[in-house]
Structure 1
Amino acid sequence: MSRAAEVRFENVIKRYPGSSAVAVNNVSFTIPAGTLCTLLGPSGCGKTTTLRMIAGLEYPSEGRVLIGGKDVSALPPAERDVSMVFQSYALFPHMNVLENVGYGLTISRQPKARVREAARAALASVGLSGFEERLPSELSGGQQQRVAVARALVLEPAVLLFDEPLSNLDARLRRKMREEIRDLQQRLGVTVAYVTHDQAEALAISDKVIVMNQAVIAQEGTPRDLYESPASDFVAGFVGEANRLPATLSHREGAMARVTIGSATLSLPHRGAAEGAVRLAVRPEAVSLLDATDPSAVLRGKVAKAAYLGGLMEYTLATEAGEVFVIDPETSRPRGVGEEVGLSLGQRGVAVLPA
């Protein structure tokens, strides 16, 4: 599949008649052709409405939606060259797998031989050759999800849309299916817009992530950008775990500044923060536990909670800077509740939060 198209929003606003609330508020972004972009955010943030405006299931109140450089803002779904995989899969229970996959071509009055050939090819692309005669009720959840993807792919869309497609699956199957979706997208080169509220899912599969909050874009960038350089307190807390700790910023020079936390002084990019009191976003894996008497400790505290998770330990620590959550790969010597410890910070996973 080589007809991948760029998706672009230009100052898009979505209001619903009879409501004073704005579902999407002056949103602009670009999804490059042939990439997988995830719209990530909490319930009610506007991500699904944004996806539906790409699909043509909703129309913008203001602004423009462009696909492949063409303004499609007022076009119906059938004229947009997009296909959508819904959260519920929406398979017809009385049709077998082959009939479900070929349904879109059938209603467009394609020759029966062409429909069967295209449906079999789409099933092969998602690893379901040999399942043609089965009914949806005879398939597992993961297999049903693949049928829904094949039904979307058979139309050879320029843009493929996913609306929380893995939310009905258990944790292990979700991980497997997200890998399959990413592999399929890279193999076919199709443009994908993918909606989820699952941060791990977004980080694992995306070329680009757009984080939405309260109808606007909070931040967009690569998964690494968002995780290592969150633009706000909201993004730091929503994209993975983060401790937000008080610190003092001083001596700005170029892009760098001196940041004091506890008894340590760090050199960090100031990211636009002014001198004075600031907050640091500290990822749990950036914190190392030391003996309480270790002179290199940045902070000192006491273990309030400890949990063994097989390959790692999770700790909640009461420190002089507030509560700190820590992920520690060292499981051979677990720290007990009430034990006093020292904390040090690594070079990665620590960022100044812009004002």
Structure 2
Amino acid sequence: TTLRLIAGLEVATSGRIVIGADDVTALAATDRNVSMVFQSYALFPHMSVLENVAYGPRVARRPRREAERAAREALAGVGLAELEARLPSELSGGQQQRVAIARALVLEPSVLLFDEPLSNLDARLRRQMREEIRALQRRLGITVVYVTHDQEEALGVSDRIIVMNHAVVAQEGPPRDLYEAPADVFVAGFMGEANRVKGVLRRLDEQRGRVTIGGLACTLPHRGLADGVVDVAIRPEAILIARGAAVDGTLRGTVSHAAYLGSRMEYSIASAIGELFVTSAAVEAPLSPGATVALTLADHGITLIRP
């Protein structure tokens, strides 16, 4: 809905939509200088690649030669200059995505909108296209609004992320801030896996506090929370695993599930503070279910959250 409001495809019932210094709230979609790349690509199957990209300039009543010249420049910008004569059905998914991007860019928009553009691609191609979209944005210096439900995409393409919950902004900021210091339970879960556990906070000064979590302790920004029981979000990679029995300053755990995922291991570990989801890059020496481990905390990936 947010994208459709920016594009002028939905009518705003309150508030304003400002692009640059211009209030475009009352303008028609055709007068906003905004282009959108749809999830389905929306290419015309009977038109060649060149004709698809030149369609926008032609609708804008630009001469055919000028429209085709602009289309060729846009195709060259996405690395498809040699495929201009092909039909969409003769292209791979990634190539179709590039055509859709070229068609959006040929109109030289002030804002480029992406509506979950990579959801139809496989994992390898999603990563490749994510990098290409980011490089394209940096090269052109254009404002991009990119909607996705994929946390890795959000982190990978953004300078700034806005997480929305039922049409209300839950948190906004740089990717690292949202991942490492989520504002609440919803943001913590949306921005990736997080273990939510209870801890006891004792404020040390105006900024930081000491948090005890079972047999573990760490110093964190207290984020204005009062002393007492608090909710703590711990990222899976922030829990460190050592073989053997627990000693002072560690937490005893028992591996209940282990999964090998190539570049990392994923574990479910039963502990006194609950079942913990833990990831480890130590794939060369995996732990087996039933193994006893000692857990400690890293100096990152741990934050106090509001319920």
TM-based fold match above 0.5: yes
In structure 1, C-alpha distance between the alignment counterparts of 2:138 and 2:248, rounded to whole Å:
46
Q: Residues 144-223 of structure 1: matches in 2 within 5 Å?
A: 144-223=96-175
In 2, distance between residues paired with 1:238 and 1:132? 40
Q: Which one has the bigger strand percentage?
A: 1
Report the 3-state secondary structure (helix = DSSP H, G, I; strand = E; otherwise coil) of the residue aligned with 2:193: coil
In the other structure, the counterpart of 1:259 is: 211
Name which of 302, 309, 324 aligns with 2:254.
Answer: 302
Matches within 5 A, 1:1-355: 49-354=1-306
Q: For 1:86, give the aligned amino acid.
A: F
Work out whether residues 246 and 252 of structure 2, in 8 Å CA contact, stay in contact via their aligned partners in 1: no
Distance of 2:36 and 2:248 partners within structure 1: 54
AA at the equivalent of 2:200: T
CA distance in 2, matches of 1:209, 1:184: 18
> 1:130 is paired with a residue of what secondary structure?
helix
Q: Which has the higher helix share?
A: 2
Separation (CA, whole Å) in 2 of partners of 1:147 and 1:350: 42
Whole-angstrom CA distance in 2 between matches of 1:163 and 1:296: 51
Provide the residue aligned with 1:35 in structure 2. Answer: none
1:272-307: per-residue Cα shift (whole Å, max 9, x none)? 211111011111111111233242553211111000
Match of 1:22 in 2: none
- Residue 203 of structure 2 contacts residue 226 of structure 2 at CA under 8 Å; is this kept in 1? no
Q: Which amino acid aligns with 1:344?
A: T
Q: Is the 8 A contact 1:273 1:353 kept in 2?
A: no
- 1:36 corresponds in structure 2 to none
Query: Is the contact made by 2:111 and 2:144 (CA closer than 8 Å) also made in structure 1?
Result: yes
Q: Alpha-carbon deviation of 1:312?
A: 1.4
Give the Cα separation in 1 of the matches to 2:155 and 2:20: 26
- Say which SS state the counterpart of residue 101 (structure 1) adopts: helix
Report the 3-state secondary structure (helix = DSSP H, G, I; strand = E; otherwise coil) of the residue aligned with 1:184.
helix
- Where do 5+ consecutive residues of structure 1 fail to align? 1-48
Question: What secondary structure is seen at the aligned counterpart in 2 of 1:203?
Answer: helix
Per-residue deviation, 1:354 = 3.2
CA contact (8 A) 2:216 2:297 kept: no
5+ long unaligned stretches in structure 2: none
Structural RMSD (CA): 1.1
The one-character-per-residue Cα deviations of 1:239-288 (angstroms, maximum 9, x if unpaired) are 01111111000134110111111123321110121111101111111111
- AA matched with 2:94: G
TM superposition shift of 1:233: 0.8
Structure 2: how far apart are the matches of 1:309 and 1:297? 30
Say if 1:87 and 1:139 are closer, same or farther in 2 by CA, change over 3 A: same
Give the number of aligned pairs.
307
Whether the 8 Å CA contact 1:299–1:319 is kept in 2: the answer is yes
Residue by residue over 1:296-347, the C-alpha shift from the partner in whole angstroms, topping out at 9 and shown as x without a partner, is 5532111110001122111001110011011111122211101111100010
TM-score by length of 1: 0.85
Whole-Å separation in 2 of the counterparts to 1:153 and 1:51: 17
Cα distance in 2 between the residues matched to 1:327 and 1:282: 12
Q: Is the 8 A contact 1:248 1:276 kept in 2?
A: yes
Report the identity percentage.
60
- Using CA pairs below 8 Å that are at least 6 residues apart, which structure has the higher relative contact order? 1
